[in-house]
Every structure is written in structure tokens, then in C-alpha cells.
Amino acid sequence: MSSRRAIFVAPFDELADPRLLADLAAEAEAAGWDGFFLWDHIVYSAPTSAVLDPWVAMAAIAMTTNKLLTGPLVTPLSRRRPHKLARETVTLDLLSEGRLVLGVGLGSDNHGELAPFGEVAEPREQATLLDDALTKIQDYWGGTFLPRPVQRPRIPIWAAARWPARRPVRRAARLDGLFPIGVPDPDGLATLREEILQQRAEERIDGPYDLAITHDEPYDPAPWEAAGATWTLRSFGSQPKLADVRAVIAAGIDG
């Protein structure tokens, strides 16, 4: 089965312009792409200097597109207040008429965006805050806060997991999708898929499930699709060049 295809960009430097990102998303939709996802960072290591907030940019994307899915891949919930994020996600889901995916993860302090700002940087503490936030957000979406999201039973949540860690995979299996980072080959993805399907069967969790894989260089999606990928994302690293992004978008999903 063919995967859905998406553009995945860091809103840094040459792309640190919300109007430009909205235009690129509209171009991607016109060229047949299914999604346009953004990195979510506060600061980033040199040589990156300009960093854009993805949430405001996604609102602009929602207004320039009609079918394209968008979302942050990924936002560290340990530095977000669940009640505020619940309001923001519902608002964006309504604005986009149900085209938001919420990507979540622990995040890391590799680029100095946690501890220097007083955020939790210890992974176990981050994991505790992440799980607590996921519980609260889903409760808010479920009717504790009104209005509720357009999407039912909830806005899809994809959780990140860095290969070969398995605890984040077990968390992701209870959600709506996995965004694995650093999977070495399609066989590795197939292994993750089998583990997730087994856990979901044991815990009697129903519903569709997404596996989203990404690469910075051109790649053949076919073996990843055969391994279970439902989304194949084309990324451009931490120093995206506008000309490169535009060329890939214009080539379309079969380019």
C-alpha cells in the first residue's frame, strides 16, 4: 500500500518566515503532497540563528490550504502546560477543519533549549511530565474544555521514539502513531510495527495507526512502505535551503 507523502521542514534561517511557509504549504498541496510538518524548537545550535515558532506558522498554513495535514514533529510536552496546549490544539484543529496531527516527545537539551530556560532536562522527569500531559490533554479534548476538536475520537497523537529505545515505542502504541528517529533500515521499522501491533492486540486497542518515517536525502519509499510506513516524509535537515525545498515540492510525490 502506498504511503501518504509529506514535506517536513525546520522553520529556520531561510525558512524563518511564516508567510513563506504558508506559501510553500500551498504549493505542496497543489503539487499533490498530503502533509506539511514543522520542527518545534525554541533555539538551535550554530550555525542556525533564526528560529520560527511553528504554532503560529501552522495557523497560517491552515488558512492557505484545504486538504493538507500539518503538525509539529515533535513538541516536547515537558515544556508545555497541558491546559494551554489543549486550547491551542483545539483552536488549530477547528481552524484547519480537522487537519492537525500532534507530534509529541521528550525533547532533548542538545541545543540548549531546556535547562537554560528553566525547563526539565532529565529524561525520567520529562517522561513523567509527558505521560501526565497526555492524560490531561485527552481529558480536556474529551469535553472538560469546550469546544471539542473537530476530529473524533481525538486529534491524532504521534509519539517520537529514538532507535533502539523501546519504552517510547510502548507509549506510542497506546496513541495514534509512531514517529521513529534513527531507524537503520526497513527491517527495523517492520520490527517496531510488529511490536506495536502485538501490544495493541494485547491491550485491545482499536483504530487506525500511523508509522511516519523521514529522511533528509532522496529515498525510495517502497521498502519502507512494505515494512509498514503509512507516511513517508521528506526532510531537509537543520539548514534547509529554500531552493531545495521548492524543487522537491515542485517535483511532486512521484518526483
13 domain residue, yes or no: no
Q: What is the CATH number of the domain that holds 76?
A: 3.20.20.30
24 domain residue, yes or no: no
- The residues near 121 (Cβ < 8 Å, ≥ 6 apart) are 108, 109, 114, 115
8 domain residue, yes or no: no
**pTM, entire model:** 0.97
25 domain residue, yes or no: no
CA 150 and chain centroid, separation:
19
Strand partners, 177: 158, 210
Distance CA 151, CA 34 (A): 17
246 domain residue, yes or no: no
Per-residue pLDDT reduced to its tens digit, 176-200: 999 999 999 999 999 999 999 999 9
Domain span including residue 161: 40-52+60-213+221-232
How far apart, in Å, are the Cα atoms of 31 and each of 152, 184, 254?
28, 29, 10
pLDDT in tens, the chain (255 residues): 699 999 999 999 999 999 999 999 999 999 999 999 999 999 999 999 999 999 999 999 999 999 999 999 999 999 999 999 999 999 999 999 999 999 999 988 999 999 999 999 999 999 999 999 999 999 999 999 999 999 999 999 999 999 999 999 999 999 999 999 999 999 999 999 999 999 999 999 999 999 999 999 999 999 999 999 999 999 999 999 999 999 999 999 987
126 domain residue, yes or no: yes
How far apart, in Å, are the Cα atoms of 133 and each of 26, 51, 219?
32, 25, 35
Q: Phi/psi zone of residue 237: left (φ > 0), alpha (ψ -120 to 50 degrees), beta?
A: left
150 domain residue, yes or no: yes
Q: How many domains does the chain have?
A: 1
180 domain residue, yes or no: yes
